[in-house]
């Protein structure tokens, strides 16, 4: 897909978890609009393949739970691009809940928080001096509707809710340095995490989403490009739902009332 907008000419960007799914779509969108993008991903081979397929993209292995690797990735981006203007915190970890809370392990709980929340902190900490120096710095954190409502996954949901809070506090801290910080909360997105489950996604789209479908990675990439660009130059500390209306509209409540009234009338 090509885009008429070229909002990121001369920009340098770093996308964590950029090798596939939402991260890959974000990388493609920013690069298509003129940015040079560093994919920082734990899967070195997948990052390399994705970068080879996108003009203006490069890749580096990066574990966001390792401060040294995060700082090395940021330094590499600055060296290669001469600037770092956009940071997209997209690294992902989501552990399955144990059947009972008392069976949940510390290890899985800590893993989700370390990747999703503390990983974003590590990346922002390393990148902030460069983002401030650019004069147009922007951080976009990829959250989830799990931060706002119960869709399961205790640790992942807590991490995403914490990320929303960090987005607000970092926005306040970074504003004086000219850096904007915002978050996107996606609903269900068709990624490899749902591989082989197309019937489930179709049922979710029809039954849960007012717009009649689940999201595509490109839906999130478009929102990231907006928040990272000068078009959002007076937006900071915001959380933008990109969820097909999932949280705004309760499709089941009116149907339950209608069914109950129909049964009572019969």
How do residues 156-195 score in pLDDT, each as one tens digit? 999 999 999 999 999 999 999 999 999 999 999 999 989 9
Q: Is the pLDDT of residue 80 over 60?
A: yes
CB 182 within 8 A of CB 167: yes
How do residues 94-144 score in pLDDT, each as one tens digit? 999 999 999 999 999 999 999 999 999 999 999 999 999 999 999 999 999
* Closest listed residue to residue 155, CA positions, set 194, 110, 185, 99: 110
* Closest listed residue to residue 78, CA positions, set 116, 127, 39, 44: 127
Q: Is the pLDDT of residue 57 over 70?
A: yes
The one catalytic residue in 3, 11, 76, 156 is 156
Q: Is the pLDDT of residue 266 over 60?
A: no
pLDDT for position 236: 98
Instruction: Give catalytic status of residue 209 as yes or no.
Output: no
Level-2 CATH architecture, domain 12-265:
3-Layer(aba) Sandwich (3.40)
The one catalytic residue in 3, 11, 76, 160 is 160
pLDDT for position 258: 84
pLDDT for position 66: 98
CA torsion, points 178, 169, 145, 74, in degrees to nearest 10?
Answer: 50
Instruction: Give catalytic status of residue 160 as yes or no.
Output: yes
pLDDT for position 1: 62
pLDDT for position 2: 60
* Closest listed residue to residue 91, CA positions, set 71, 112, 115, 124: 115
Q: How confident is the model at residue 263 (pLDDT cuts 50, 70, 90)?
A: confident
Q: How confident is the model at residue 48 (pLDDT cuts 50, 70, 90)?
A: very high
How do residues 3-36 score in pLDDT, each as one tens digit? 668 999 999 999 999 999 999 999 999 999 999 9
DSSP per position, the chain: ---S--TTTT-EEEEETTTSHHHHHHHHHHHHTT-EEEEEES-HHHHHHHHHTSTTEEEEE--TT-HHHHHHHHHHHHHHHS---EEEE-----PPPPSSGGG--HHHHHHHHIIIIIHHHHHHHHHHHHHHHHSS-EEEEE--GGGTS--S-HHHHHHHHHHHHHHHHHHHHHGGGT-EEEEEEE--B-SGGGTT-HHHHHHHHHHH-TTSS-B-HHHHHHHHHHHHSGGGTT--S-EEEESTTTTT--SHHHHHHHHHHHHHH-
Q: Is the pLDDT of residue 92 over 80?
A: yes
* Closest listed residue to residue 238, CA positions, set 159, 150, 141: 141
Q: What is the mean pLDDT of the chain?
A: 95
């Amino acid at each position: 897909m090509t885009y008429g907008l070229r909002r990121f000419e001369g920009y340098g960007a770093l996308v964590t978890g950029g090798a596939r799914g939402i991260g890959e779509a974000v990388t493609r969108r920013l690069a298509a609009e003129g940015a040079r993008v560093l994919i920082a991903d734990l899967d070195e081979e997948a990052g390399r393949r994705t970068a080879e397929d996108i003009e203006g993209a490069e890749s580096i292995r990066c574990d966001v739970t390792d401060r040294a690797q995060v700082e090395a990735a940021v330094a590499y981006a600055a060296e290669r691009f001469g600037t770092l203007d956009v940071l997209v915190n997209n690294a992902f970890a989501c552990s399955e809940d144990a059947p009972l809370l008392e069976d949940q392990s510390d290890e899985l709980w800590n893993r989700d928080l370390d990747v999703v929340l503390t990983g974003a902190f590590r990346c922002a900490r390393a990148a902030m001096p460069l983002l401030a120096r650019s004069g147009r710095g922007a951080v976009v954190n990829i959250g989830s509707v799990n931060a706002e409502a119960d869709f399961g996954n205790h640790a992942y949901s807590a991490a995403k809710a914490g990320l929303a809070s960090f987005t607000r506090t970092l926005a306040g801290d970074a504003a004086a340095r000219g850096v904007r910080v915002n978050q996107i909360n996606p609903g269900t997105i068709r990624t490899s995490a749902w591989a082989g489950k197309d019937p489930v996604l179709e049922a979710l789209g029809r039954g849960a989403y007012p717009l009649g479908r689940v999201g595509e990675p490109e839906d999130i990439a478009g929102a990231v490009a907006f928040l990272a660009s000068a078009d959002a130059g007076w937006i900071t500390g915001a959380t933008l739902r990109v969820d097909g209306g999932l949280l705004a509209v309760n499709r089941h409540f009116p149907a339950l009332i209608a069914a109950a009234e129909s049964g009572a009338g019969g």
